[in-house]
Amino acid sequence: MPTSDPAAPNLNQNPVALFLIPPCTGCEYYTNTVSPQNQRYEPNSPGFHPFLAIAGTHRGWLLGPAGTDFNLLLFQQINGVWAVVASSTGSTSSEEVVFTGGAGNYVWTIRSALGTGTYDFWMERPGSVPPPAGAGAGAPGTSPPLVPPPQPIIPNTKKSPERRRMTL
């Protein structure tokens, strides 16, 4: 009769409780620290760096330390206003979001409802292409994938720097 390790995570209760390998092939990986006094925007936190995405499916996975409660939210800019279009706000720091939406500007947000700590965050943009065989993907403590996603080129028609405030 098989035995189970009582210290092992119960993946039936929380399927994203432990990522021994990245949860996706060719996904982007980011890590940072969050506390109840701040929130982080991904990709490329610190700072606010929304990304332009084609229509399709967005996927995000968040993993934080035990004893914390971090939440994962996906915002989309709709008619000039940032709105939450998908979120995972469970009672742990192991969260997963899948959202299918139209083309537009998006940003992932990580918030802490309880505790301070370092998180690991993986994301897939719509239309992501897996890296070539053997290239691997980002993992904790390593760089993002070897094949960077394309970055949008948005012409700047203003002469002075533009500041945007996110409405939550």
* Domain-located, residue 4: no
Q: What is the residue whose two structure tokens read 């192991």? A: 94
Bridge partner residues of 86 (DSSP): 74
Give the pLDDT of residue 11. 37
Question: Based on the structure, what is the number of domains in the chain?
Answer: 1
Say if 100 falls within a structural domain. yes
Whole-angstrom distance, CA of residue 45 vs CA of residue 112: 15
Give, as one character, the DSSP assignment of residue 127: T
Does 72 fall in a domain?
Answer: yes
Rounded Cα distance between 109 and 87, Å, is 9
- Cα(35)–Cα(6) distance, rounded to whole angstroms? 30
Least trusted range by pLDDT, from 14-28, 48-62, 105-119 = 14-28
**3-class SS string, 49-88:** CCEEECCEEEEEEEECCCCCEEEEEEEEEECCEEEEEEEE
**Tokens, residue 86:** 């998908």
Residue 150 placed within a domain: no
Report the mean per-residue pLDDT for the chain.
Answer: 74
Tokens at 35, concatenated: 């506390």
| 117-165: pLDDT as tens digits | 999 999 999 987 544 443 333 333 333 332 333 344 444 444 444 444 5
Q: Is residue 130 part of a domain?
A: no
Report if residue 59 sits inside a domain.
yes
pLDDT at site 158: 46
CATH of the domain at 110: 2.60.120.380
Would you say residue 44 lies in a domain? yes
Residue 134 lies in a domain: no
Range of the domain at 104: 31-124
Helix (H) / strand (E) containing 34: strand 28-34
- 3-state SS, 1-13, equals CCCCCCCCCCCCC
Cis preceding-peptide flag for 131 (omega within 30 of 0):
no
CA separation for the pair 107, 116 (Å, rounded): 21
